[in-house]
Amino acid sequence: MNLYIIVEGEQTEMKVYPEWLHFLAPQLEKVDDAWSIKPDSHRYYLFSAGGIPSIFKHVSNAVADINDINASSFLLYALMWKRRAESISKKKSMGN
């Protein structure tokens, strides 16, 4: 099993996801390049999209990568939308 993971943030998610995966799927090896994922391997590629809205642009590129790599990968798309929406709503109600 291979994973191609896109996360919203650049800092917290890039630290937390490898720790979670270490406990949830210790057989997975982190790679720094999606093209290092090979068929029948157990690897994951973690990519930070740098926030909203840029994360939406990266999804189509990730799908293209997965198809080109042809390594039976799953795409995980992690977005913390509720927290962002609540934060924006609070700022608007405070007049900021």
- Residue by residue, pLDDT tens for the chain (96 residues) are 888 888 888 888 899 999 999 999 999 999 999 999 888 889 999 999 888 788 888 888 888 888 888 876 787 777 665 555 555 555 555 555
Q: What is the pLDDT of residue 89?
A: 52
Give the Cα separation of 71 and 8 in Å (integer): 24
Q: What is the pLDDT of residue 33?
A: 93
Give the Cα separation of 17 and 68 in Å (integer): 25
User: Could you count the other beta carbons within 10 Å of the beta carbon of residue 43?
Assistant: 19
